[in-house]
Structure 1
Amino acid sequence: MAHAAARLVDSVEKALGAPLPVRVRAWDGSEAGPPGAPTLVVRHRRALRRMLWKPGELGLARAWVAGELDIDGDLYEALERLAGLLWERDDAPRAALARRLAAGRELLALAGPLPPPPPPREEVRGRTGLRHTLGRDRRAISHHYDVGNDFYALVLGPSMVYSCAYWDEDENTTLEDAQQAKLDLVCRKLALKPGQRLLDVGCGWGSLVLHAAREYGVRAVGVTLSREQATYARKRVAEAGLTDRIDIRVQDYRRIDDGPFDAIASVGMAEHVGAVRYRQYADILHNLLRPGGRLLNHQIARRPLPDEDAYEADPFIDAYVFPDGELAPVGRTVTTLEEAGFEVRDLESIREHYALTLRRWVANLEAEAPRAARLAGPGRARVWRLYMAASALAFERNRIGVNQVLAVRTPDSGASGFPLRTRDWR
């Protein structure tokens, strides 16, 4: 195993047919690769076994979560350089295939005995039955959100808002300021007025309903499937003296039966709905709104595919972060809302804002890394750091986007209630 790094770099470069864009430090202390580049630290041979057993993103993720891989240097630069290393799914030309097989034999010799160890325990397992049933969705939400409110407070900061903030050009703007700006933007787009009823679908830790009740005088219902979120939100509502105006429920959106509402906000929730339920989701929200009521749907979007039936969720995110989560192109979202009877009045892309938000969350996590590991476990803390850093790059590079779609349940009279200059938001 002497000079394992050089052997590893040589094998990978043979497989790639190109120079390795990062430096490598192996478990024996040896190093190889381009000087000055971020260093991929391979702490144990088990990492190679995981990657050989699951070529591509999931094998890398499992080794990362287990602490067998790490990055010495700029995490974002390393992720950008490593993005092209995932094994292609397409059939390779015969020469490339032969080269990869030869490299694979060398990597097997380095990796040691197969099969690999079991996946780290934070991986979602035991999913059975149809996707997006009430029970399976409840378990998926619990996996992501019921990991400890103290952990989320560390990452998100005082705002406790787990969605894209709304930034301005001032470099001194804080995360808290930007999240308050986003909450107020949602309220203004919904044209909230004192005495109205607001439904927040996927209310998280209660930040939006608190802002809407306190600043706009509404009565609000917030629903979530996370019991930890609900407990935290109810405590905040009680401390604000707003229990008579805010109702926090552990409830599936499919079980809400006390409409109509004057306005509905769905911020970062529709990603959990799934393609098979998205029309049902749109129909339910339409039926819960009074005629003239507004919907603000804030949702991450992926790019369209030539063959939409070929879409598959990201394997790392599906296994470790958002079980059963699905992204849709923004055009599909708009079409589905219109099919349900909504009139779409405005669409604002805020893609760059999410990249800025994620970088702040990663900075919070890195600044409190030991405490984060104590609160959520080392593996979960590593999952969140990798997920958030990779997502920041995806937004920056326009691989994914995020959009606020504002729609109205236009009454039969056709009077939408919108001003002629829509973006006055009054």
Structure 2
Amino acid sequence: MVGDVQTDDLKDIMKLWLDNESTMSNLDSSFVRVSSALSGVWNALFGQTRANARLNAIASYDQSNELFKAFLSKDMMYSCALWGEEEGGVRGDLLLPPNQASHALESAQLRKIHHVLQKARVRPGSRILEFGSGWGSLAIEAARSFGCEVDTLTLSVEQKKLADERIMRAGLQHQVRVHLMDYRELPAHFEKAFDAFVSIEMLEHVGSKYYDTYFRVVDWALKSKDATVVISSSTFPESRYSGYQLTHDASQRRFTLDGVENHSAHYPRTLREWDRRLEANLDPSLLAKDFPDLMTDKAAYESFKKKWRYLFAYAGAGFAKGYITCHMLTFIRERDMPASCD
């Protein structure tokens, strides 16, 4: 991050690394085996305790709302968009003139939100429980366009603050409630109160040890009949971390798997859009409140920005190469009917 290595195309460097990752790992196989084993033991034994979950939220999301505003869509949806023909598909940004793709991220993210809510089978008056509020994007749209009532959970003080402001501006404070709360601390009156459960790219933070707890809580909160679960999560190859494959096992005896979608092909363009916006919009003055040192230390600011661009490039290459995937799983109650087909 300090300029020791320069490249004109970070994405290609990442792809080259992923193409040769298995070979490079053999250069120090003992270390790789030990570190992988320790990582697996840590996740299996400890997972996301309540303290760890809060610390991870601080590290990931309590940095600066202004930072996320600089690269996210206007609705501040921080997950994979779904690209349609209107935006030129998953490679539209590489094929269309820049002026035709300028607002594509907003429409693709709105499509994603609507797709999730349609899969959740919500209707006017439905009560939705959401784990992982983000900045309230899905909850706001569920209330505004679908007529739902939403209780959404976050561990990020900064996210809750901005989400509450956005909900108030939209006049939806009577339909949407943001709770600063761990999912294991739901109040008693949530029991069997909800028609649908939604969680977008939050499961990655749960830890495999707690998958059973996670689904037990969801089971407890959802109505016993005509209830739907929609979960989106980034997943990793089973050979590197098998815990991400345990979701279906944890849900058994509580829900029936109704559908699986692979959204991986949609993530590289999402990350490219975030990278372009970060490069175009981020400025030290936007970060002055939360990172005052970056106002006076140009090298530190450049290093800060490179870390984010590095993240986007690495993740983009990972999704493009199949090293990382993004799946959306839909569950229904065991005796509930699938989507109408006759």
Partner SS for 2:135: coil
**What is aligned with 2:206?**
273
Contact 1:342–1:408 (CA under 8 A) maintained in structure 2: yes
Aligned AA (1:304): E
Output the CA distance in 2 between the equivalents of 1:405 and 1:139. 27
**What is aligned with 1:333?**
247
Cα distance, 1:366–1:70 mapped onto 2, change above 3 Å: farther
**What is aligned with 2:232?**
298
Aligned AA (1:136): N
Cα distance, 1:236–1:90 mapped onto 2, change above 3 Å: same
Partner SS for 2:227: strand
Cα distance, 1:353–1:92 mapped onto 2, change above 3 Å: closer
Contact 2:15–2:321 (CA under 8 A) maintained in structure 1: no
Cα distance, 1:420–1:250 mapped onto 2, change above 3 Å: same
Deviations 1:295-328 (A, max 9, x none): 00001111221xxxx749xxxxxxxxxxxxxx61
Q: 1:182 offset after TM fit, Å?
A: 0.3
Q: 1:131 offset after TM fit, Å?
A: 4.1
Match of 1:79 among 2, 14, 27: 14
Contact 1:365–1:372 (CA under 8 A) maintained in structure 2: no
Output the CA distance in 1 between the equivalents of 2:161 and 2:135. 8
Q: 1:70 offset after TM fit, Å?
A: 4.3
Q: 1:415 offset after TM fit, Å?
A: 3.4
Output the CA distance in 1 between the equivalents of 2:4 and 2:219. 47
Partner SS for 1:69: coil
Matches within 5 A, 1:223-302: 223-257=153-187, 258-259=190-191, 260-291=193-224, 292-302=226-236
Deviations 1:394-425 (A, max 9, x none): 10111111111010123xxx23363127xxxx
Partner SS for 2:125: coil
TM-score, with normalisation over the residues of structure 1? 0.65
Aligned AA (1:224): T
1:418 aligns with 2:342: no
Contact 1:372–1:381 (CA under 8 A) maintained in structure 2: no
Matches within 5 A, 1:357-376: 357-371=270-284, 374=287
Unaligned runs of 5+ in 1: 1-63, 94-128, 313-326, 422-426
Q: Per residue, is there more helix in 1 or in 2?
A: 2
Contact 2:47–2:210 (CA under 8 A) maintained in structure 1: no
Aligned AA (1:223): L
Cα distance, 1:297–1:92 mapped onto 2, change above 3 Å: closer
Q: 1:220 offset after TM fit, Å?
A: 0.6
Aligned AA (2:170): A
**What is aligned with 2:328?**
404
**What is aligned with 2:132?**
202
Deviations 1:172-209 (A, max 9, x none): 46000000000000111111111111111101100000
Deviations 1:110-132 (A, max 9, x none): xxxxxxxxxxxxxxxxxxx9442
Aligned AA (1:416): M
Contact 1:289–1:409 (CA under 8 A) maintained in structure 2: no
Partner SS for 2:6: strand
Cα distance, 1:364–1:272 mapped onto 2, change above 3 Å: same
Aligned AA (2:247): T
Q: 1:74 offset after TM fit, Å?
A: 1.7
Q: 1:157 offset after TM fit, Å?
A: 2.6
Output the CA distance in 2 between the equivalents of 1:91 and 1:75. 23
Match of 1:164 among 80, 84, 95: 80
Partner SS for 2:128: strand
Output the CA distance in 2 between the equivalents of 1:335 and 1:240. 39
Output the CA distance in 2 between the equivalents of 1:200 and 1:357. 23
Runs of 4+ with deviation above 6 angstroms: none
Deviations 1:271-290 (A, max 9, x none): 00001111111111122110
Q: 1:68 offset after TM fit, Å?
A: 3.8
Deviations 1:46-86 (A, max 9, x none): xxxxxxxxxxxxxxxxxx2xx24343312212322345489
Unaligned runs of 5+ in 2: 30-44, 89-99, 295-300
The count of aligned residue pairs is 297
Output the CA distance in 2 between the equivalents of 1:355 and 1:179. 14
Output the CA distance in 1 between the equivalents of 2:281 and 2:145. 32
Q: 1:87 offset after TM fit, Å?
A: 8.4
Range with greater deviation from structure 2 (168-177 or 394-403): 168-177
1:139 aligns with 2:55: yes
Output the CA distance in 2 between the equivalents of 1:130 and 1:189. 33
Aligned AA (1:336): A
Bigger Rg over Cα: 1
C-alpha RMSD of the superposition: 2.4
Partner SS for 1:418: coil
Q: 1:371 offset after TM fit, Å?
A: 3.9
Partner SS for 2:318: helix
Q: 1:139 offset after TM fit, Å?
A: 0.8
Contact 2:132–2:152 (CA under 8 A) maintained in structure 1: yes
> How many percent identity over aligned positions?
27
